[in-house]
Structure 1
Amino acid sequence: MQVARSSCLGIVAVLICRVAAWGREGAWEELPAVVQAIRTTEFPNRDFSIAEYGAHEGGAREGGAADCKPAIDAAIAECSAAGGGRVVVPRGEWLVNGPIHLRSNVNLHLASDATLKFSPEPRYYLPAVFTRFEGTELVNFSPLVYAIDQENVAITGAGTLDGQAGPKAWWPWKGKWGGEVDHGWQPGDPDQTAAVARLGKLADAGTSPTERRFGTDDYLRPSFVQFYRCRRVLIDGVRIINSPMWIVHPVLCESVIIRGVSVHSHGPNNDGCNPESCRNVLIEDCEFNTGDDCIAIKSGRNADGRRLNVPSENIVIRGCTMRDGHGGVTLGSEMSGGIRNVYVEDCEMSSPNLERAIRLKSNSLRGGFLENLFVRNIRVGEVSDAVIHIDLRYFDETGEHPPVVRNLHLDHITSEKSGRPLCFLGTARSPIRDVVIANCRFETAAEPSIIEHVESLQLLNVMQPE
């Protein structure tokens, strides 16, 4: 049975066609094994304080700015050469004119009340490095904290990473933006529009990623923290604020743990955490207050995502708090390589500026598959749009790669206030398949649910406004 459109009012609605092969109870039984497969970091008990390598705290020395980057680079080099340990940032404010590039077996540790303040001057983030911009590989400005092809690497501690981005730095490069925060751009100012179009054309033409070179005058913002093709990654306890663009962005990584991290940044495309084409990821006990999606799982965009063909898989999100953002937990829209086996549990999501709790988005230009999503025990205070939102017509883009969305199980979700309980927008070519929503309560909602092009939908013990 296919549902073309339904308002889904009433207290209990049940539409049963067939049961997905992998039921929700069996999936949750697999969760301990999924978590156990995530390999953890381990570092020698050695400390390398940046103060011992010439770093000066306070941001001023002999009348000028005290750039701590040379000291940090030296400490990382010596720590790595010694076989690993902690590079320690002591209490205080420390200015860094340029990126920090981490190496294997190095744990960048920020002491309590320590702040690394990154210069917002773009020229310091050259020479360019191999990276990704919105799901497409290229050579561009270095992320502020970056590692590529490293193993056993971490950022830990109770300190702060401050990107110093804002209306006067990085954010205006977005160009026109509909966000609530003034990001500093005015009509006539330079922006990323032309470079984004050029990058897309290069990727569609199959140009080698190393030949897609961008930088000065292209206005493509870097991610804040990016680990690229790394194994055994840990980000634990730090606070991250004022990001140029995506904030925590592991790419093509395996065994990633992001724990106890607090993210506050409200600029354009300030997604809190974007695991992209990653395998075996745990995100737990984090807080997100962002200008875009709080967590957004991705796997490459369009031709470039299909070229690499590496899905994001085996991802666990638990115990997190989501405040402002476009979506609490989002899958897509750059998901051309596919996403599968995602577990979300025991999270709290609420803000008048949080638009959706669970969000899935793609279209037939981006394509990809999204399968085996398991969600339970989610407490939603308030969202302005749908509590659960699936949009396979995202951005009104169309192409020849209809996305596949199937086997979604959502249990015990409560919502006190929303724009609507559910909004499921499949297409005739890409119906949403095998969805179970059970034991959920949706209280005050401004509008009824919308269900279009969904096959095999079960609503079991679901309470919605009459």
Structure 2
Amino acid sequence: MYKKIFLVLVMFVFVVSCNEKKDKIVTISPWDKMQQIIDSAAEPTFPDKTFNILDFGAVPNGIESNTEAFKKAINECTNNGGGIVLIPSGKYLTGPIHLENNVNLHLEEGSEILFSTNPADYYPLVHTSYEGTELMNYSPLIYAYKKNNIAVTGKGILNGQASNEFWWPWCGKDSYGWKPGMGQQKDSLNLPVLMDMGENNTPLNERVFGENHFLRPSFFQPFECTNVMIEGVKIINAPFWVMHPIKCVNVIVDGVTVESHGPNNDGCDPEYSKNVIIKNCTFNTGDDCIAIKSGRNGDGRRVAIKSENIVVQNCKMIDGHGGVVMGSEISAGVKNVFVENCVMDSPNLDRAIRIKSNSKRGGLVENIFVRNIEVGQVKEAVLKINMFYGIYGVQEGGYIPEVRNIYLENITVKNGGKFGILANGYKELPIQNITLKNVKIEKVEKPYSLENVNNINFTDTYINGKLMTNIN
């Protein structure tokens, strides 16, 4: 029985037609599948033309606004077939930057883009998303809508300038600067209204927010784009989610450093996206380091695009709620996630691998493969699967989430916190097929806590020095 389960976990099955008009089953390993994904996501390329923003009136003093200079340089670049929009050393204050086709926004070492803290600068409102629900809201700080072949590269700094004075208080928590009498996202006419609109399939042109609704903009958001890359830059002090490719195909996130400890400061949130490579990055965040998403509740089911073929390689996770996370907005589902060769270590990192949903969100999460991970310290659990995730009040409905085929191999954990595995599923749809192979977890209070989980398979796995045996 266990051998059959193991084979299900470690092989993808494809059906192809033969000349004899019969179906033939072809199997490949998940890691071969991962390599196919990597090979299919080629880096965008750009003509050898440079458009220096200084030539378009930019002033690198950190005081005068350069919004128009960025806009002129980007338009000139795309109108001439594309190339590099160069940001030389210096500090450049600006409002939102909107990328166009075939533009590589390149930050030289020593450059820093300072984004305005005035919400009025983020008008006109654009088609965007907030916590898994689409709306018209403030422009993300760097935004691209239905563009192809775009990039943000270099060794400079992108500074959102968010703080307990600007943007962060809108979350409504006094620890981030909110005080009684101040507006915040949970006020009755703000986020609760948006969530109702998502549930009721309200047309997008009626989901108009912006001023006085206190919904913060994402930092870098390519929306319905193809062939996207962000490489090398450092991102600090984000208002909200840091990197948020939504409805994108072929995305590369390479060598980016995120240092942002504000509320909802997820490091990278691929949503409704396919073929996403996140590699060589460092995440030091106020929320999940990487959180793979696919829409909230009714809006996610309306869009109905899975996030799939997500690869995470050679990354470092420091502070955060989770190292690599699926959820909680995963109503359209997540499949084929590959994580390898990462280091996760901080007293402020809650979990290593995390899956979260509830019966209001639903969603199917399947085929999650993790190998060669070094965990120094986590607070709560090495692997946490919570199908009763609660936030914003009662989160119960008729969409029971499903999780199946989770595979961890070659994992070493020095200090695992409270649990090696903490998994809580539904009796109606238990969590299916968790395999740990060559996993060593030290210093946990309990090896596992399980509810409604079927088929946990241990091979050469030790928790607190004890060889683990399979659980039906």
TM above 0.5, yes or no, is yes
Structure 1 residue 456, shift from structure 2 partner:
1.5
C-alpha distance after superposition, 1:144-200 (max 9, x if no partner): 0000000000000000000000100000000037xxxx3101233210012110001
What percent of counterpart residues are identical?
Answer: 46
- The farther-off stretch of 201-210 and 105-114 is 201-210
- Normalising by structure 2, we get a TM-score of 0.92
Corresponding residue number in structure 2 for 1:187? 180
Corresponding residue number in structure 2 for 1:112? 109
Corresponding residue number in structure 2 for 1:66? 64
1:416 to 2:414 alignment:
yes
1:160 to 2:153 alignment:
no
1:189 is aligned with what amino acid? M
Instruction: Give the alignment of 1:220-231 within 5 angstroms.
Output: 220-231=215-226
Would the aligned equivalents of 1:392 and 1:430 in 2 still touch at CA under 8 Å?
Answer: no
Partner Cα separation in structure 2 for residue 52 and residue 28 of structure 1: 47
Corresponding residue number in structure 2 for 1:124? 121
Corresponding residue number in structure 1 for 2:44? 41
Structure 1 residue 418, shift from structure 2 partner:
2.2
Residue number among 23, 28, 32 corresponding to 2:10 in the alignment: 23
1:216 is aligned with what amino acid? E
Partner Cα separation in structure 2 for residue 168 and residue 22 of structure 1: 48
Corresponding residue number in structure 1 for 2:359? 364
Partner Cα separation in structure 1 for residue 229 and residue 92 of structure 2: 22
Secondary structure of the residue aligned to 1:21 is: helix
1:390 to 2:385 alignment:
yes
Corresponding residue number in structure 1 for 2:336? 341
Secondary structure of the residue aligned to 2:227 is: strand
Corresponding residue number in structure 2 for 1:210? 205
Corresponding residue number in structure 2 for 1:86? 84
Structure 1 residue 22, shift from structure 2 partner:
4.3
2:100 is aligned with what amino acid? R
Secondary structure of the residue aligned to 1:327 is: coil
Secondary structure of the residue aligned to 1:326 is: coil
Structure 1 residue 28, shift from structure 2 partner:
1.4
Partner Cα separation in structure 2 for residue 357 and residue 270 of structure 1: 17
Partner Cα separation in structure 1 for residue 357 and residue 388 of structure 2: 7
C-alpha RMSD over aligned residues: 1.4
Partner Cα separation in structure 2 for residue 104 and residue 387 of structure 1: 41
Corresponding residue number in structure 2 for 1:76? 74
Structure 1: state its 5+ residue gaps.
2-14, 60-64
C-alpha distance after superposition, 1:342-370 (max 9, x if no partner): 10000000000000000011111100110
Would the aligned equivalents of 2:9 and 2:406 in 1 still touch at CA under 8 Å?
Answer: no
1:262 is aligned with what amino acid? T
CA distance 1:17–1:83, shift in 2 (3 Å): closer
Partner Cα separation in structure 2 for residue 453 and residue 107 of structure 1: 49
1:35 is aligned with what amino acid? I
Corresponding residue number in structure 2 for 1:399? 397
Would the aligned equivalents of 2:53 and 2:69 in 1 still touch at CA under 8 Å?
Answer: yes
Secondary structure of the residue aligned to 1:197 is: helix
Secondary structure of the residue aligned to 2:398 is: coil
Corresponding residue number in structure 2 for 1:279? 274
Query: Greater RCO between the two (CA within 8 Å, min separation 6)?
Result: 1
Would the aligned equivalents of 2:276 and 2:311 in 1 still touch at CA under 8 Å?
Answer: yes
- Normalising by structure 1, we get a TM-score of 0.93
Corresponding residue number in structure 2 for 1:150? 147
C-alpha distance after superposition, 1:84-133 (max 9, x if no partner): 0000100011111x100000000000000100000111110011000000
Give the total of aligned pairs: 443
Structure 1 residue 39, shift from structure 2 partner:
3.2
Corresponding residue number in structure 1 for 2:25? none
2:384 is aligned with what amino acid? H
Structure 1 residue 451, shift from structure 2 partner:
1.3
Residue number among 242, 246, 254 corresponding to 1:251 in the alignment: 246
Partner Cα separation in structure 1 for residue 56 and residue 173 of structure 2: 43
Secondary structure of the residue aligned to 1:207 is: coil
Residue number among 30, 35, 51 corresponding to 1:32 in the alignment: 35
Corresponding residue number in structure 1 for 2:292? 297
